[in-house]
């Protein structure tokens, strides 16, 4: 009702609709999607996938439909060593928008909370990594206790979330808007790319 701001009840509806609309497509792509309930009964959204890295391999490489037969060209494949990244969409009563929390868990159980290291692990675009690291006071990712779990996570500060959503979709009275089924998808498309979170192209309606 007050786009781009949400009430907690509206956020819960957005989570349910997001899982119904995007869950199967994301899981087909290797991302597990779950609607979680905290011990206090509050809803939040969890997306989890493997962390991939480039590793040199032997054999021909294909770039689109063109095969590179140059034996001196490096050949890479995306591999996972068992590490995973968790993205949590959590409602902020203070900001009245979702906040993106994340952490990487390695195959040995180490929880990675170094923002620059996480960006290096999950973001392939070097320009995006440099922009994240260039943000003053430690970069764009901070560390805070997860509001529903009470343990440390990295998070993207939500101070510009409402402004960005308004720029993309001003609202029903002044221009294009996203419905409750597309709110979280629109939000993730704006905030997720910086930390390796992408969605299938289904639409925001």
Residue 79, H or E segment: strand 76-92
28-45: per-residue pLDDT in tens?
A: 999 999 999 999 999 999
42-71: per-residue pLDDT in tens?
A: 999 999 999 976 555 555 545 454 444 555
170-203: per-residue pLDDT in tens?
A: 655 554 568 898 899 999 988 888 888 988 876 5
**pLDDT above 70 as % of the chain:** 73
Instruction: Return the higher-pLDDT residue of 156 and 201.
Output: 156
Residue 112, strand partner residues: 104
pLDDT at 30: 93
Structural contact between residues 25 and 200, judged by C-beta atoms closer than 8 angstroms: yes
- Provide the residue ranges of all domains of the chain, joining segments of one domain with +: 8-52+83-195
Structural contact between residues 107 and 101, judged by C-beta atoms closer than 8 angstroms: no
How far is Cα 47 from Cα 160, in angstroms, rounded to an integer?
22
pLDDT at 194: 81
pLDDT at 140: 73
Could you name the CATH architecture of 8-52+83-195? 2-Layer Sandwich (3.30)
Q: Are strands 76-92 and 43-56 parallel, antiparallel or unpaired?
A: antiparallel
How far is Cα 24 from Cα 111, in angstroms, rounded to an integer?
28
Residue 72, strand partner residues: none
Look up the pTM and report it.
0.80
């Amino acid at each position: 009702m007050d786009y781009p701001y949400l009430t907690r009840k509206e956020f819960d509806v957005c989570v349910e609709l997001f899982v119904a609309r995007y869950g199967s497509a994301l899981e087909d792509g290797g991302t597990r999607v779950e609607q979680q309930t905290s011990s206090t009964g509050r809803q939040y959204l969890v997306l989890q996938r493997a962390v991939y890295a480039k590793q040199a391999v032997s054999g021909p490489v294909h770039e689109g439909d063109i095969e590179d037969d140059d034996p001196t060209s490096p050949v890479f494949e995306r591999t996972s060593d068992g590490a995973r990244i968790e993205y949590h969409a959590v409602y902020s009563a203070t900001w009245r928008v979702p906040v993106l929390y994340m952490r990487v868990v390695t195959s040995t159980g180490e929880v990675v909370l170094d923002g620059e290291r996480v960006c290096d692990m999950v973001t392939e675009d070097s320009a995006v990594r440099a922009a994240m690291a260039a943000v003053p006071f430690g970069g764009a990712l901070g560390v805070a206790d997860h509001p529903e779990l009470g343990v440390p996570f990295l998070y993207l500060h939500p101070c510009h979330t409402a402004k960005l959503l308004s720029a993309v979709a001003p609202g029903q009275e002044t221009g294009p808007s996203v419905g409750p089924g597309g709110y979280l998808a629109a939000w993730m498309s704006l905030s997720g790319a910086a930390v390796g979170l992408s969605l299938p192209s289904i639409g925001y309606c």
